[in-house]
Structure 1
Amino acid sequence: MGENANGDRRVSGPRLFAIVGPFQSGKTTLLECLLTRAGALSRQGSVRDGSSVGDSTAEARAHAASVEANIASVDYLGDRYTFIDLPGSVEFAHEARNVLPLCDAAIVVCEADERKLPALRIILRELEDLRVPRILFLNKIDQTAVRIREILAMLQPASQTPLLLRQIPLWQNDIVTGFIDLALERAFVYREHAPSVVVDVPAGEMPREKEARYTMLERLADYDDALMEELIADIEPPRDQIFDDLTRDLREGLVAPVLIGSAEAGHGVTRLLKALRHESPGLARLRARLHLADDGPALAQAVKTIHTAHGGKLSFARVLRGSFTDGALVRSGAGEDRISGLSRLMGLTASKQGKVEEGDCVAFGRLEHVATGDAFGDAKNSDPAPAVAAAAPPPPTHCVALSVKDRKDEVRLAAAMAKLSDEDPSLSFVQDQDAGELKLYGQGEMHLRVALERLAARFGVTVEARKPGVGYRETIRHAVSTRGRHKKQSGGHGQFGDVALDVAPLPRGEGFSFSETVHGGAVPRNYFGAIEEGCKDAMEKGPLGFPVVDVAVTLTDGSYHTVDSSDMAFRTAARIGMSEALAKAGPVLLEPILKVEIATPSDALSRVTAIVSGRRGQILGYDARPGWDGWDVLNALIPEAEMDGLIVELRSATAGVGSFTQKFDHLAEIVGKTADAIVAHHYGAKAPAH
């Protein structure tokens, strides 16, 4: 039975569920338990001992944490579900950005841990902004002594949507032994790694159950006038009406139901599966949420890209409309491709499919023109537009400079990094010409470490990573006049160039200017361009060893030879003269200063302020973060030299949720011992006197 306009509870067709939650909340363990309970696995594996379907890559196992999306499709009671377990670490949060908008619902795994509330709030905020229906699974219920009402009160500030408690725990000797389902009015006794046993609600628990159930019904009545009238009249509402309300309120995002359990022990998972089966929305609701017409040509959208060692590129995509067959020609905005294989995924295992229908989530083989976030459809139709815009990569927060042991590996490195960046758009690989460095940017220390581990394991390219250089510059304090002369005779035509230059400092940020006041043809006009280039040559590396900025040069005089003068001779003469002038004009070191905007929970503001001050930062001010109660935005100026590792320290001070953006602001003079040390380090010797 398909979903229809009057809100029938049961929907049919494939569905996509995201599993999200703070770091180490038990998401991957819950995925394992869901797969086992649905019959896809004969025995529940363990993340701890490396036997789980999720976190099966070498990098995830090495770090005992999810470092990428884990994908698994399963059939359960005639329905096909795809679960995508998304990393909880903020360094890998970008994995979720293209997945979440195309999900039918999200399972938010959380626990009674106040330290994880900031991370939970960020996750719930994103789901709320995307209008993705969500069920909270309160995990590790068997490990807490805190009462459920207190837990709910602790969790509610993290959610802008009311949390609706659907189950309450059964206690025996201060141990949770099961739960009472408030909608069914039944009790369930836990069994280890097996479905719970249904029992009557114990007589001693009836008052608690009645109170909690009435609270649930009161919340549902906020959105159902008929139910409100029944409660006022003390009329027991029919069970079907309650489930209709629960279903509608979940699908419309009016409430966020809370179920309880333990993924490790397999408790509460069957009820979670049944809630997903009966109450979660289907593809029709998703299309309505995305303002996508039900009718039209076939359409799919890629949510993740995977490069495999033997199968080539895989584009994992949701089919939003129509169907696709293996071997069919498809078109995306970048070009046409022929589908080379359709596969459902179960971790690292793929099962081939000949055809996929709407709602399916499958890997499409070798769509070379399709990137993560791209839409594609039948090649006979025009270029399809994505149902939702591809997520922009988050701004980088950490950088390392890379060097290969063998220069011939540089080409292999560039090709491998292109594939890694295709899989993970939050990685960026840049050739910094000014610094002469290969730089890798990402979301944190662990993010880049995992990328380099993949680089070595999958592509055989080993690199050395180091702290990147700082974009120091130098300028001059005084105006000077100088003469540059280049004369060389070596048989035949010689080389002759002679220039007189006035060199003066410019205001900060003005760059470079060149002019001439030559009279009487002392230097022919056709050599002016070469002279300007010669001055620029000298500025590439000033007397302190860094590029020179904010200098004005005026060509005032010179001489030439009708036979021996040339562009090259005058360019060389200008470089000689300019180099001498820069050395005499009081060179001074400049360091780049960045404008940094830091988002932090308000209770961590003092710690963040201390971090900024400890990095020679200048606090410009702070204000409340718009639309985020309990958050602030701190603005500061911080030297680029002090930015390395800032994100690590910031996350440590903010329970992992602090973030920042940065942009170049200005260059500032740096003098004394600090400048001497920088120049000495640059030259690898004692700094020259200046």
Structure 2
Amino acid sequence: MGLRLATSEAIMTSSDGPKGRNGAQGGRGGVRGARCVALIGPFASGKTTLLEAILARTGGISRAGSIAAKSTVGDNAPEAREHAMSVGVNVADISFLDDKFTVIDCPGSVEFAYEGTLALPACDMAVVVCEADPKRVAALQVILKQLEDAQIPHLIFLNKIDVSQTPLRDIIPGLQPASAKPLVLRQIPIWENGIATGFVDLASERAYVYREHAESKIIELPSAIASREKEARFQMLEKLADYDDDLMEQLLADIPPPNDRVFDDLTKELKDGMICPVLLGSAQEGYGIMRLLKALRHECPFVEDTAKRHKLENVKSAAYVFKSVHTKSGGKLSFTRVLAGEIPDNATVTGGDGQEVRVAGIFTIRGEETTKCGGARAGDTVALGRLDAIRSGETIGVGKSTVTQIPVPKPPQSVLAIGLGLKDRKDEVKLSSAVAKLIDEDPSLTLEHNADMHQILLHGQGEMHLRVALERLMRKYGIEVLREKRRVGYKETIRSATEVRGRHKKQSGGHGQFGDVKLDIKPLPRSSGITFAETITGGAIPRNFIPSVEIGVRDYLTEGPLGFPVVDVAVTLTDGSYHTVDSSDMAFRQAGRLAMSEGMPKCNPVLLEPVMAVSIAVPSEANARINGIISQRRGQILGFDARPGWPGWDVIEAHIPEAEMDNLIIDLRSATAGVGSFTFGFDHLAEVSGRLKDQVLAANRAAAE
């Protein structure tokens, strides 16, 4: 289904720093409901592997699976397994020291990122998984900016620390430009022969040695790292003291703050979005997992905090739908986080547009099996059955009154499109229904029926995004489509004027056909459209036939002498004649079309191509590469400016022909390590001449044969 909930009932016990914090927090967790945490980060940073490590450590699975072996709990969809990447959000329930959590693993690829965007409002907190590599600052910045704008508390799990070649002293300053919040280092690694073998927790001042796929073991603080630990701890406390005057006074007086006070500050300042803590580990080896779980247990906000963030703290009931799945047999399932109140089975819920729907079953999910449950309360993440009228991103409430909607970003504009042709024409009716379900599951896909191009277009966020959509069409609905290149909306116009006469005369027994018109054809300024006028005097043509002449003229202009729709032409009917018996609407329609077919080739027709206004957002260091890409695509650079709210980024404005837009996103992402993006819209039509014109006309003739 693309999503999978794995449930762990493991209850673990372990010491965790100052006494008393476990019981208080755990007790509150049992009363206040499950918490929800997002795993989010750049592509290939190790999120799915981290989810496996968490499940293995909490007893949800007997051993961690691997992406290479296609055995992970997450990424269980065939498309994810085939491409070895997340193509949708994955969900898992865990239990740790009596506290329950739902973990949502969000796709790292920008092409599937909108599913993660829709899931984030359901979460109390996010764990940003990234590599200890300053070269990936731009990718990290995209993630952190999204969380900062949504005011979601978050920490960083610095993954693959065991293979990092960059000193931690250099990593944190290198990553800081990606975050608007201070990065607060919570741990420092213990190195032996260039390999991270353990860590020191700066809050508890304890040293640990890593044990593969097992809880780290407490050791004596190595004397070789003692001075570094004091330095790093003081730096951590300094950053916390920026938001705590009492702590600042203690530091100035050289009074060591108690560990409980440090933990409380870390919890409060994380929850309030003042800092971004940084933890270390290796998901592949299972390093740092227990420390991460303990941080989540103590510092993750509760569902009531999230409800307050969304201004839903005073409502009787509210739930947020973050994912829709159409199953083969069970109908539609809506994955939902309950933020306030309860949802009983068979309850009537109301969506954002006031639509009322009855819940047809509430389910918990383990693997690919659904288990019906009696209801859901605040904190729970469940699947609600048969909410066909409810879309992903909607906030619902129990009863017949609407609930304030949580603001959700609209799907990003598509950056790539392909034409859909059917291998079997019998699938034409099934196609629209199947694609509608795909779009319901993934709103960043769109379908367009382009009447001008006589083409059905599927729009998406990149090559892989569209490929996976076609694979799902085949797997889930048995519809095989032929992939076509998107056709360009070429037009044509004229440079010169002419006068022409068109006469349609036919006699074949009985009433004949007669229509005679004289037309004046002139070019118009660009973007003027098509105009038709008449200056008939003296009854040369009866008034009731004039509309038929216009119909004939416009019929012809749908495909001019070059084979493309005609624009920016003025046609005036100036004279003509008729026959009292043989003239008819059809005869004058044919006469108008005949006059245009004779006159237009004499008007010096020219080919026009659509030109797009494109805004490209990239890290400033990539400007030179992007300028080259624009030039290679016959583009014109109009200028650039700093991207508002994005330090170190620019927005380049350019005009690029529509014919050169295909695969622009591929080149752009290749030049920016996957973080570049663009928006576009039609700007104007420009004349095409020379060899390029000949190529376009030849291709159009070949397609028509």
Same fold by TM-score, threshold 0.5 exceeded?
Answer: yes
Is 638-647 or 36-45 further displaced after alignment?
Answer: 36-45
Q: CA deviation at 1:434?
A: 0.2
Q: CA deviation at 1:616?
A: 0.5
Given that 1:102 and 1:318 are in contact with CA atoms closer than 8 Å, whether structure 2 keeps it comes out as yes
> Deviation per CA, 1:295-347, whole angstroms, max 9, x where unpaired?
33322121111111122111111112111122222222252222122223345
Aligned pair 1:114/2:134, yes or no? yes
Q: Which AA in structure 2 matches 1:417? A: V
SS state of the match for residue 420, structure 2?
strand
Question: What is the aligned partner in structure 2 of residue 395 from structure 1?
Answer: 413
Question: What is the aligned partner in structure 2 of residue 311 from structure 1?
Answer: 330
Aligned pair 1:577/2:595, yes or no? yes
Q: How does 1:132-171 map to 2 (within 5 A)?
A: 132-171=152-191
Q: CA deviation at 1:488?
A: 2.7
> Deviation per CA, 1:617-641, whole angstroms, max 9, x where unpaired?
1111111111212111111111111
Residues 1:375 and 1:491: Cα distance change in structure 2 (over 3 Å): farther
Question: What is the aligned partner in structure 2 of residue 409 from structure 1?
Answer: 427
Aligned pair 1:224/2:237, yes or no? no
Q: How far apart in 1 are the matches of 2:305 and 2:223?
A: 41
Q: How does 1:207-218 map to 2 (within 5 A)?
A: 207-218=227-238
Query: Given the alignment, which residue of 496, 499, 502 partners 1:481?
Result: 499
Given that 2:499 and 2:521 are in contact with CA atoms closer than 8 Å, whether structure 1 keeps it comes out as yes
Query: Given the alignment, which residue of 223, 246, 250 partners 2:270?
Result: 250
Given that 2:334 and 2:385 are in contact with CA atoms closer than 8 Å, whether structure 1 keeps it comes out as yes
Q: Which AA in structure 2 matches 1:563? A: V
Given that 1:18 and 1:103 are in contact with CA atoms closer than 8 Å, whether structure 2 keeps it comes out as yes
Q: How far apart in 2 are the matches of 1:231 and 1:685?
A: 77
Query: Given the alignment, which residue of 512, 516, 524 partners 1:498?
Result: 516
Q: CA deviation at 1:172?
A: 2.0
Is 498-507 or 146-155 further displaced after alignment?
Answer: 146-155
Question: What is the aligned partner in structure 2 of residue 353 from structure 1?
Answer: 373
Aligned pair 1:516/2:516, yes or no? no
Q: CA deviation at 1:410?
A: 1.7
Q: CA deviation at 1:543?
A: 1.0
Query: Given the alignment, which residue of 314, 328, 346 partners 1:327?
Result: 346
Given that 2:133 and 2:166 are in contact with CA atoms closer than 8 Å, whether structure 1 keeps it comes out as no
Question: What is the aligned partner in structure 2 of residue 16 from structure 1?
Answer: 36
Query: Given the alignment, which residue of 365, 385, 388 partners 2:404?
Result: 385
Is 244-253 or 330-339 further displaced after alignment?
Answer: 330-339
SS state of the match for residue 87, structure 1?
coil
Given that 1:467 and 1:644 are in contact with CA atoms closer than 8 Å, whether structure 2 keeps it comes out as no
Q: How does 1:385-464 map to 2 (within 5 A)?
A: 385-386=404-405, 388-464=406-482
Aligned pair 1:619/2:637, yes or no? yes
Q: Which AA in structure 2 matches 1:616? A: R
> Deviation per CA, 1:229-276, whole angstroms, max 9, x where unpaired?
111111121221111101001001111111101101111101111111
Aligned pair 1:205/2:190, yes or no? no
> Deviation per CA, 1:410-431, whole angstroms, max 9, x where unpaired?
2111111111111111111111
Given that 2:490 and 2:564 are in contact with CA atoms closer than 8 Å, whether structure 1 keeps it comes out as yes
Q: How far apart in 2 are the matches of 1:252 and 1:384?
A: 25
Q: How far apart in 2 are the matches of 1:350 and 1:208?
A: 51
Aligned pair 1:539/2:557, yes or no? yes
Instruction: Give the structure-2-normalised TM-score.
Output: 0.94
Given that 2:304 and 2:340 are in contact with CA atoms closer than 8 Å, whether structure 1 keeps it comes out as no
Q: CA deviation at 1:196?
A: 1.1
Q: How does 1:155-194 map to 2 (within 5 A)?
A: 155-194=175-214
> Deviation per CA, 1:487-509, whole angstroms, max 9, x where unpaired?
23344433322211111111111
Question: What is the aligned partner in structure 2 of residue 273 from structure 1?
Answer: 293
Q: CA deviation at 1:9?
A: 11
Given that 1:334 and 1:369 are in contact with CA atoms closer than 8 Å, whether structure 2 keeps it comes out as no
SS state of the match for residue 413, structure 2?
coil
Q: Which AA in structure 1 matches 2:92? A: A
Q: How far apart in 2 are the matches of 1:374 and 1:239?
A: 42
Q: Which AA in structure 1 matches 2:152? A: V
Q: CA deviation at 1:10?
A: 5.8
Question: What is the aligned partner in structure 2 of residue 337 from structure 1?
Answer: 357
Q: CA deviation at 1:685?
A: 8.5
Q: How far apart in 1 are the matches of 2:502 and 2:230?
A: 96
Q: How far apart in 2 are the matches of 1:9 and 1:276?
A: 15
> Deviation per CA, 1:381-414, whole angstroms, max 9, x where unpaired?
323331x123211011111111111222121111
Q: How far apart in 1 are the matches of 2:330 and 2:409?
A: 26
Instruction: Give the structure-1-normalised TM-score.
Output: 0.96
Question: What is the aligned partner in structure 2 of residue 47 from structure 1?
Answer: 67
Question: What is the aligned partner in structure 1 of residue 91 from structure 2?
Answer: 71
Aligned pair 1:297/2:306, yes or no? no
Residues 1:296 and 1:505: Cα distance change in structure 2 (over 3 Å): same
Residues 1:191 and 1:681: Cα distance change in structure 2 (over 3 Å): same
Q: CA deviation at 1:460?
A: 0.7
Question: What is the aligned partner in structure 2 of residue 594 from structure 1?
Answer: 612
Q: How far apart in 2 are the matches of 1:301 and 1:284?
A: 14
Is 425-434 or 320-329 further displaced after alignment?
Answer: 320-329
> Deviation per CA, 1:107-156, whole angstroms, max 9, x where unpaired?
00011123321110110011111111001001111111322222111111
* Percentage identity across paired residues of the two chains: 55
Is 599-608 or 319-328 further displaced after alignment?
Answer: 319-328
Given that 1:597 and 1:660 are in contact with CA atoms closer than 8 Å, whether structure 2 keeps it comes out as yes
> Deviation per CA, 1:340-384, whole angstroms, max 9, x where unpaired?
2222334544333211001211111110100011122223x3233
Query: Given the alignment, which residue of 367, 391, 394 partners 1:371?
Result: 391
Q: How far apart in 1 are the matches of 2:99 and 2:376?
A: 14
Q: CA deviation at 1:202?
A: 2.5
> Deviation per CA, 1:211-237, whole angstroms, max 9, x where unpaired?
111111111111111111111111121
Given that 2:304 and 2:339 are in contact with CA atoms closer than 8 Å, whether structure 1 keeps it comes out as no
Residues 1:368 and 1:541: Cα distance change in structure 2 (over 3 Å): same
Q: How far apart in 2 are the matches of 1:224 and 1:159?
A: 21
Q: Give the aligned length.
A: 680
Q: How does 1:640-659 map to 2 (within 5 A)?
A: 640-659=658-677
Question: What is the aligned partner in structure 2 of residue 660 from structure 1?
Answer: 678
* Structure 1 residues without counterparts, runs of 5 or longer: none
Is 567-576 or 421-430 further displaced after alignment?
Answer: 567-576
> Deviation per CA, 1:526-563, whole angstroms, max 9, x where unpaired?
22222111111000111111101110000001122233
SS state of the match for residue 296, structure 1?
coil
SS state of the match for residue 97, structure 1?
helix
Q: How far apart in 1 are the matches of 2:70 and 2:295?
A: 29
